[in-house]
Each structure stands twice: as structure tokens, then as C-alpha cells.
Structure 1
């Protein structure tokens, strides 16, 4: 018979494992070799259990193994230890498994507390995002508020989910705020478009009447009507940019026809018109002092005052009119361009188009630059020169697009 502190093999080849209290349990039999070989074999089985328990201990300690999976693995190993056909201190292995259970439970509680803390932090963060979004929903800073709302969406996506009910309620408020802002912005720009369309229709009618009066010889009444039409023109507001200049040229052209005819009839008024020219040159000097445009509101009000005095003066000699009126129109155009620049800065759709065009042109320039360099490297100077000319053209377009994009403040 051969024995070990934790087991023995009797004379019949039966193998027993011994517990700390001295009790024994049969774990197998051995007929093929010596008792020492039998003990070594069943000790290796015990060593295998030791390795498995050690691996599980490391997994629990160093990985994110879930408590559920850890407990399942522990119970599986406990069954193996309980029924183990092995020789060794099986009770010690059981105690190690007990300690591992305590570790898993402690870790479960730790994760529970951590998860609750993260959930609470996420709730506060999302509530803060909702409050800010609801404030932004009332903003009229269309570009800045729109960009901030998009940034809030990205922040939201990076936060963990709450319980379904809370998360859905907060998201509903957040989404509703974004929708409300989008509707208000869309309505704002739709209103601007509608106002410009209404101005276009009004000015079409004014142009038609102005053109119908251009051949009138009722000098006084027609001149008075032209003044009324000019007042109505100014009150109508600006039409779309692509229509405004054409309508103005037609409107002004009709007046020019009439007043040119009247000037021919009243040639004796040349002296008076000479005095008018001096007065208008003074007003043109005053108007030009408004350049460059700084405070748009003040400049607009000052120019309106100057223009009212200008209109009250009357006509100037025909050959002097283009120059002096051109000076005033230069100032008026500068004010109009400032107004258009201000409007464009609030038009995110136009900015997006400008950015898209700039990106496309930049890509084309980069591609052509590479092709020119490749052609030079290959010694194909004719091809390189042709590509360089095309590159120069695209670069000029890109420079113009970048300049336009800068008008948006970008």
C-alpha cells in the first residue's frame, strides 16, 4: 500500500482522498502501474483544479467579467471540486472558491454603486442639455444657436442611457426644442423670402406705371406722381437681389425719359438746375463722408435724411446728372451691400452652399497640383503647362469662393 498526506492506494489498487479531519473518500482505482504512479496521476488532477481556480481568480480581478458569469463559473468549479477524482487539499480549494464568491459579491455592489453614480451624473448632464436646448429654441441668433444645438446633439450621443422612461422623456423635450427652433428659423427665412417676393411684385407694378408715364407732357402732375412712385418704391423694401437692380434700372430709366423731355422743354431752367447741382454736390460730399460704412443703422438713417433733401432739390443739368447721381448711388450701393452682408450672415443655407463650393474647388486644386507635379516629374512639360493653366483657373475660382465665404464671418 502507498500513501500521501492527502490520499492513499490500498493493496487492491483502490485510490482514496483524505480530508483534513481524516475521513476518506474513494476517488478511483489503479491497476496499470505502481501505487506511486497512481498517486502522481490523481495529484495531477488536483493540480489541474488548482490551475483552473487560479485562472478564474485572475479573470475576476483583472477583467470586466460580469458577476453572473463569474458565479456560474464558480459553481461549475465547485461541482468539479466536490466530485473531484483527485488527491489534494480539496477543502482548501473550496475555501478559495468561497473567498472568490465574496470578491464577486463585493465587486457586484461596487459596480452597482458606480452605475448608480454614472446614471445620476448622466441624468444631470442630460437635464442641463435639455434646459439649454429649450432656451436656444427661443433664440433669434439663427446661425450661432443652430451650431450650438448641433453640438448639444453630439454631447447627448456621448452620454450613457438612463432608464427607458426617463431617457425617453428627456429626449422628447430635447427633440421638441430642436424642432421648435428649426420651425422658427424656417418661418423666419420664409418670411424674408415672402417679403422680398412681395416687394418684387410691388416694384413690378411701380415700374409698369413709371414706364407708362415716361412720355407724358403733363410736367407738373407727372413729376409729382414720379415723386410719389419713388416714395412707394422706398417703402416697398428690397426685392431679391437678382431682380432688384433690373427693376431699379427700368424704374429709373422711365423717369429719365420723362425728365429728359421736360428738361428740353424747360431749357430756361438751366440756371436753376445749375444751382441745384451745387446743392446736390454738397449733399454728395455729405453722403460720401458716410463711407466706409461703420454703424449700418446710423448710416442708413443719415443717408435717408440726405436723400430726402436730395429729392427736394429738383433736377440738375442733364450732362452733370450721371456723375453727381453716381456718387450718391455709390454710397447707396455700399449701404445696400452692408445690408445684404448682414442678411447673408444670418442665412445658414447660403453659408452651407458656399462651404460646399469651396470644398469642391479645394479638392480640384489639390488634385490638379498633384497632376502638374507628376507631369513635371515625368518630363512631360507640355502636359504640365496645360494642367498648370487649368490649375490657375481653378485657383482663381477658389480664391473668389474663399473671399465670398469670409463674408459669412467664416
Structure 2
């Protein structure tokens, strides 16, 4: 008889394996020595070891599901229990027990992970629903629409929840999208109607602009074109495919008018530049009359210059103030000379000036005496007040004397 730690072969060739529960027959061997028999059945044991090694490696290095792993462990356990092999079968059972425990632990971990995943999915879907319901009342049609489409893609990537909960959340999510779509559709329908009305309004503006394009009433027509432009901007935008064509027609009508006006103004500007040169010559001629020494001659010469000035016509607007200022300066000088001559030769005015001068001289003398008397009496405050009044009257007197001299007396 031959034996090993885990099995033996008796004289009849029966092969036994030793386990914690005792010996059991695993086969018989008649073709060779007992050692060969034990080696044969030990190789079968080694095959079981290899299968368990492979299962351990799969469980620890791949994403083998707990269900598949439990099935594999059960299958190997049956093989070990019925194995016609010689070896430490109890050790294999213990390894399978450890694998069972590991599979159970993994099942619990995955169950907990699944629970966490579902809770995270629930929170994520709650957040998606809340955002969708907020977007449902938005008027940012493009960005809100794009965001809602992105939310749908995000929703599709999340795990399904318990059916009732998932269906309720999806119903709210879908209602929010539908509400937004309905509002957007209504908005763009109204916008289309508004843009069609805008197109009709702009057609009318174009018709008027085209009717005015041949006008030569430059000022009022240019003003009306400015009003038409304000009305055009206030009208809003028509449909995109129509707006550019409408604007091209509207602008073309204006261009016809303003091009014609530009040509007319260019001719006018050339004429006005010639007028300016002629008026500069007349202004220079008038300035030679200054200073006025012979009023009669100056008046006659200025009258002649004025008649020729009026016959010349308009000058450029930017030069108008300067050139008219020159002729007005001469006119004022002649007018002042006439005023001075009138004052000098007017007996009534001279008498009034003489009377006023006498009154002021009397007042000045009286105030001087009063001030001197107050100061002599030591009344300084009264004296200073009288002296201030005296200074004012003296200034009036000096002015009156100057005027009296202009009358030659």
C-alpha cells in the first residue's frame, strides 16, 4: 500500500482522499504503481487549484459582477465536494469560503455604491428639474433653448431611479420643456407678425423716399429724409431675408437726392466764394473811410458801398460773420460820428447839459463844505460818509463836464 499526507492507495488499487470528515474513495488504479495513481489524482487536484486561482484573479482584477462570482464559487464548491482528486480539499473549501465572503462584501459595497449612485442621480435629476422649471419662464430664447437641450442629454446619461420617482421627475422635466417650447413658439409667431407689419411700414417709407428723390426743394426735403430715417429706425427690423433689400432700396432713394443736392451745393458754394471775394473788396473800400473826417462824404460813400453790397448776394456761412462784422464796424463808426455831430450842434441838448453841470457843481460844493464842517467838529463818521457821497457826485460832474465840452463850450 502507498500513501501521501492527503491520500492513499490500498492493495486492491482503490484510491482514497483524506478530509476533515474522514476518508472517501476517489477512484481506483489498476494500470500502474500506487505512486503513479496518487500522482494522477494529485494532478486533478492541481487542476482545481488552477481554477480557484483564476477565479480569485478575476474577482480582484476585473469588474466581474457579484452574481457571476457567486455562481462561479458555487460551481467550484460543487466540484471540490465531488472531486475525484487527492490533495488538501479542505484548504480549497476554505479558499472558496474566503471567496464567498469577498463576493458578499463586494455585493454589499456595490449595493451601497448603487444606493449612493441612485441618491446622487436623484439629486442630479431634482436639480435638472428645478433648472428646467426656471428656464421655462425665461425669455432668453436661444440660450435657454440650448441649455434645455443640454439638460436632456445630461438626463439621458443619468441612471434610472425607482420607476414611480423617475416617472414623476421626468413628467415635471418634460412639462417645463413643453411650457418653454410653447412660449417660444408663441413669441416667434408674434415676432413674425410684427416683422411682417414692419416690412409693410418700411415699404411705405421707401415709397415716400423714392418719390422725394427728384425733389429740388433741398431744405424741407432733407429735413423730411431725416424724419424718414428716424421712422425707419423706430419701425424695428423686418425678416432677415427682407431687411437688407429694404434698406438697399431706402438708402438708394436718399443717395439720389443727396447726390443731386451735393452737386447743386457745390455750384452754390463756388458762387458764394466769388461773392465773398467781391464783399472783401467792398469791406476794404469801406474801411478806407476811417477815421471819419468828412461826415457828408463818408455817409455818401457808405451808401454807395451798401447798395453794391446788397447786390452781391450770399457768401459762405462760415465766412458770413467775419465779413459782415467788417462792414458793420464802419457803419457804427459813421453812426457814432453822426451822433457826435448832432449832439454838438443841438442847442437844447447843450442847454440841458449846461444845466445839469451847474446843479452838480453846486452839489459838490455844498457836500465839500458839509464834510469840512463835520470834520472840524470832530464828527469823523459823518465826515467820511459825506466825503463818499462827495466822491460820487464829483465823478458825475467830471462826466457832465466832458459831455459839455463835446458841444464846444
With the shorter chain as reference, the TM-score category is 0.5 to 0.7
Q: 1:206·1:251 contact (CA, 8 Å) conserved in 2?
A: no
TM-superposed deviation, 1:231? 9.2
Higher relative contact order (CA 8 A, sep 6+): 1
TM-superposed deviation, 1:214? 10
1:203/1:18 CA distance change after superposition, 3 Å? closer
Gaps of 5+ in 1: 217-224, 260-316, 321-410
The equivalent residue for 2:165 is: 166
1:136/1:3 CA distance change after superposition, 3 Å? same
Instruction: Give the Cα separation in 2 of the matches to 1:41 and 1:233.
Output: 103
Q: 1:46·1:88 contact (CA, 8 Å) conserved in 2?
A: yes
Q: What are the superposed Cα offsets for residues 276-296 of structure 1, whole Å, 9 maximum, x if unpaired?
A: xxxxxxxxxxxxxxxxxxxxx
Instruction: Give the Cα separation in 2 of the matches to 1:233 and 1:65.
Output: 72
Matched, 1:243 2:240: no
The equivalent residue for 2:16 is: 16
Instruction: Give the Cα separation in 1 of the matches to 2:140 and 2:39.
Output: 83
Q: What are the superposed Cα offsets for residues 340-386 of structure 1, whole Å, 9 maximum, x if unpaired?
A: xxxxxxxxxxxxxxxxxxxxxxxxxxxxxxxxxxxxxxxxxxxxxxx
TM-superposed deviation, 1:152? 3.0
1:68/1:13 CA distance change after superposition, 3 Å? same
- Higher mean alpha-carbon deviation, 149-158 vs 36-45, is at 149-158
RMSD: 4.3
Q: 2:213·2:253 contact (CA, 8 Å) conserved in 1?
A: no
- Higher mean alpha-carbon deviation, 28-37 vs 165-174, is at 165-174
The equivalent residue for 2:88 is: 89
The equivalent residue for 2:297 is: none
The equivalent residue for 2:344 is: none
The equivalent residue for 1:110 is: 109
The equivalent residue for 1:38 is: 37
Instruction: Give the Cα separation in 2 of the matches to 1:84 and 1:237.
Output: 90
Instruction: Give the Cα separation in 2 of the matches to 1:211 and 1:41.
Output: 111
Residues 320-339 of structure 1 mapped to structure 2, 5 A cutoff: none
TM-superposed deviation, 1:99? 2.5
Q: What SS does structure 1 have at the residue aligned with 2:49?
A: helix
Instruction: Give the Cα separation in 2 of the matches to 1:227 and 1:4.
Output: 116
Q: What SS does structure 2 have at the residue aligned with 1:3?
A: strand
TM-superposed deviation, 1:237? 4.5
TM-superposed deviation, 1:14? 1.3
Q: What are the superposed Cα offsets for residues 132-164 of structure 1, whole Å, 9 maximum, x if unpaired?
A: 122122222233333433443443344333234
1:72/1:245 CA distance change after superposition, 3 Å? same
Q: What are the superposed Cα offsets for residues 187-228 of structure 1, whole Å, 9 maximum, x if unpaired?
A: 434433322211222343566678889999xxxxxxxx9999
Q: What are the superposed Cα offsets for residues 72-126 of structure 1, whole Å, 9 maximum, x if unpaired?
A: 1112111111111111222222222222222211211111011001110111012
The equivalent residue for 2:118 is: 119
1:4/1:246 CA distance change after superposition, 3 Å? same
TM-superposed deviation, 1:40? 1.1
TM-superposed deviation, 1:229? 8.9
* TM-score, normalisation: structure 1: 0.52
Q: 1:200·1:244 contact (CA, 8 Å) conserved in 2?
A: no
* TM-score, normalisation: structure 2: 0.53
Instruction: Give the Cα separation in 2 of the matches to 1:167 and 1:70.
Output: 30
Q: What SS does structure 1 have at the residue aligned with 2:104?
A: helix
Q: 1:130·1:173 contact (CA, 8 Å) conserved in 2?
A: yes
Q: What are the superposed Cα offsets for residues 24-74 of structure 1, whole Å, 9 maximum, x if unpaired?
A: 211111111111111111111112112212221222233221122112111
1:248/1:20 CA distance change after superposition, 3 Å? closer
Gaps of 5+ in 2: 216-223, 262-313, 318-409
Instruction: Give the Cα separation in 2 of the matches to 1:17 and 1:78.
Output: 17
Instruction: Give the Cα separation in 2 of the matches to 1:241 and 1:5.
Output: 100
- The list of structure 1 runs, each at least 4 consecutive aligned residues, that deviate by more than 6 angstroms after superposition, is 209-216, 225-235, 251-254
1:27/1:203 CA distance change after superposition, 3 Å? closer
Instruction: Give the Cα separation in 1 of the matches to 2:43 and 2:36.
Output: 11
